Amino acid sequence: MKEILAGVNSIMEALKGRRRIEKIFLQDGRQSKRVEDLLRLAQKKGVYVQYVEKTKLDQMYSLSNHQGVIAKVESYEYCEIGEVLEIAALKGESPFLLVLDGIEDPQNLGSIIRTAECAGVHGIVIPRHQSVEITAAVAKASAGAVEHMPIIKETNLVNVIKDLKEKGFWVIGADMNGTQDYFAAVIPSPTVLVIGGEGQGMRRLVKENCDILVKIPMQGKINSLNASVASALLIYEVIRQRTEA
């Protein structure tokens, strides 16, 4: 099954990643240093580039600004947790996984993936239902980071969490009623960080299976942060503690 990617960054990273790219469509007259780099990489990878009018690109991709370049690619390939743990072991690193309990906004998911990839998170687990999947919008919002981040799709997050706890993971949940401020909590390794969905947060059974519940202190009149912002704060607190340790 083929998918459409749009945007220079998304396609550039796809060319560097695992997905097979069938064809790239480039707007006539579109020129920039990044486009030149993209064309060189496409040529190196043997990917055909077809020059088309902007109206053709507008017809192919209407979600947002395509930046004058579109690619037909194979569907995103999800990973297994075992693969991700093996990657961490080969790097000699203590595993750090992110579990997203019901993120439904493609922009949020894309932003979280981008932050996680930059921070060195080894993999992200999402539920098979009641969650956005890896789509063109998610890929674009991630600035192409999705091409380098293993994503695991599971039916039952509670079972996944229980299994990881049996493997020695500590499960840290983000909750507005958490018992400790996130920067004051000691976060052990290996680590699973659980972020709830927009609005409802973590589901009850997921929350009950966390070892530690942490909160982000709120001093203003708004009592919650965007899911991607909250994720960034917590991800980098884990990285800070690991670095200091």
- Compute φ and ψ for 123, nearest 5 degrees: -170, 160
Q: Which two tokens stand for residue 115?
A: 């932050």
Same domain, 59 and 133: no
> What 3-state class would DSSP assign to 66?
coil
Phi and psi dihedrals of 95, rounded to 5? -60, 145
Residue pLDDT, tens place only, 166-203? 999 999 999 988 989 999 999 999 999 999 988 788 99
Any idea of the CA torsion for 120, 196, 156, 122, to the nearest 10 degrees? Answer: 0
pLDDT at 223 (0 to 100) = 73
Q: Which two tokens stand for residue 173?
A: 């949940």
Last residue of a domain, one of 26, 50, 74: 74
pLDDT at 38: 94
Q: Which of 24, 59, 74 represents a domain boundary (last residue)?
A: 74
Same domain, 68 and 173: no
95-107: buried (b, 16+ CB within 10 Å) or exposed (e) per residue? Answer: bbbbbbbbbebbb
Listed residues 32, 57, 74: the one ending a domain = 74
* Domain range enclosing 193: 81-244
In this structure, are 87 and 207 located in the same domain? yes
pTM greater than 0.75 (yes/no): yes
Long-range contacts of 161-169 (CB under 8 A, 24+ apart): 161/99, 161/192, 161/194, 161/206, 161/209, 161/210, 162/209, 164/81, 164/97, 164/192, 165/209, 165/211, 167/85, 169/95, 169/97
What is d(CA 149, CA 124) in angstroms, rounded to the nearest whole number?
8
pLDDT tens for each residue of 198-228: 878 899 999 999 999 999 998 888 777 889 9
In angstroms, the CA 137 to CA 235 distance is 23
Same domain for 93 and 210: yes
Q: In this structure, what CATH number is given to the domain that contains residue 10?
A: 3.30.1330.30
**pLDDT for position 61:** 82
User: What residues of the chain score a pLDDT lower than 50?
Assistant: none
Do both 67 and 171 map to the same domain? Answer: no
pLDDT at 1: 63
Total domains in the chain come to: 2
103 with 219, same domain: the answer is: yes
H helices of 105-149, in order, are 106-119, 136-141
Co-location of 94 and 34 in the same domain: no
